[in-house]
Structure formats: C-alpha cells, structure tokens
Structure 1
C-alpha cells in the first residue's frame, strides 16, 4: 500500500491509500477518486516529500527537534506580524483587494479569510501568504 497526497482542481489537498501507482491511475481514470471536500473527479497526485526511513530512536529524536524548531519559527513569525502589521479581522479579503487595486494606501495587514476568499484573491493576483496561526490562550 502507498499513501498519496492528492489535489483536486479546486486546490483541495488530501491523502488516500492505493495498492500501487497503477491502482491510483486505474481508479482515477474510472472517475472513482473523489475530493472529500468538493467531490471533484479532477484529482491529480500532489507534490510529495520522500519518506526517508530512520531507526525508531533516531526518528523520534529528529521529529521532536524539528517540531520544536518549526513551532519556534511560527511563534516568532506570528509575533513579528502582530507587531508590524494591522489586524483587519474577517475583513482581510476586502482590505487586501482595496490595497491591491489602489483604493487604500499600501500597508501590511493580517487577518482571517475563508478558503473561498483565499482562492478568489489568488485568482485575482492579489499577493498574500497564509500561515498556521496559534490562538492565544484565554487569560
């Protein structure tokens, strides 16, 4: 069995198991591989990182170290964004469009956008990035 990262025409990424590459191809051609988010039959294999097998003790050590580095990087990025960007909340897509089309002054913003809004911004050529955001713990 092999686990593939898959991506539909609407940019939804998901995983699925297949006996082998030929099984994926066969099922895909028959139209029975569906996106779990939108039911699209237009599904292709997404870019995948190779799985490098390590000894179990090595794997745990590398995994914890890399996870800690990634969490620190994201935490530092979040702090920098919160300190240097204006928070626009759920109005992010509208504000980003206004800046992109020159209706508002250029400024760094951050906020929240739905998957549909993010796709729409991307289709319009509005430059933005998305990062995982750690919610602050309640006091």
Structure 2
C-alpha cells in the first residue's frame, strides 16, 4: 500500500492510498483522483518522506497532528442549544483569532470534519429544500435537520420569511458514501 501526499490546483492538500505507483498514475490519467475539498482533478504528488512508526511508549510530547485533531474536534463537535440535558457539554468553538492562527491543513481538516458531520446528521431533501424548510417553519411538518438545493432567490425569500438557512458548499466526494 502506498500512501501519497497530494495537492490539487487550488492548493488543497490531501492523502491518497494506492496499491502501487502504477495504480496512482493509472487512476490519475483516467481522472479518477480528485480533491475531496473541491473536486479538482488537476492533482499533483507532493514530496514526502517515508513514515517511520516508532514506539509510542516513550512519553513523547504532544505532536502537531494531535494538536490539530484537538482543534478539529472543537470545531466539528459543536451541538445546538436544544441538546438534551443528558448530552455532555459541548466544547466551545474557537475564537476568530484561534481560527486565523490555524495552519491551512488544520483548517481544511476542520472543514471536512464539519461537512461530514452535517452530511451524516441531515436528511437530503434535494431541490424541495425551500418547501420543506417552510413546512417546518410554519409547523406543517416535523422539525428535523435537512439539507438541499435552493437558488439565491429562494434563499433570500426564506431569509425574508425569518427562516434561518446557511449555504454550505459540499465537495462531490462527500455527497456519497466513500468505499
């Protein structure tokens, strides 16, 4: 198994796992390797050093990767104020200053984690999003977490009606289950 550090034309960095260098080159040539953030197929391999697994029992200081995952957990696990009392308290979201100081890879990881959380915890209602949002707002349908498509005009109308909506660009790779 070959683990490669890859980068798309938009400078998003991600990891790809391939059976061999030939598998990577073949998939790249067929346009099958795309960025999980933006779907860009202009992917290049970054220089990387081999990873050595050393003993973890040495009492090593916290690594940058662990620090990054701690930041990601705080961003991705925020819960609504309506959570049941039995739900553990949510960590607070990072301040704007904390977010501004994150490395690009940490920001990308946080965004991907947040988007995966949204996809896993919402129902995709597709183009009927405006109608479903209105039904819930006016008590005609049960409240639930939904996502879907709305034009800018439909979004503006929903906001004018007092319905809270938020645009969330979803990379194509996250719209379907990964295999």
| Structure 2 length-normalised TM | 0.38
Structure with more of its chain in helix, by fraction: 1
Which of the pair has the greater relative contact order for Cα pairs under 8 Å at 6+ separation? 2
| Structure 1 length-normalised TM | 0.49
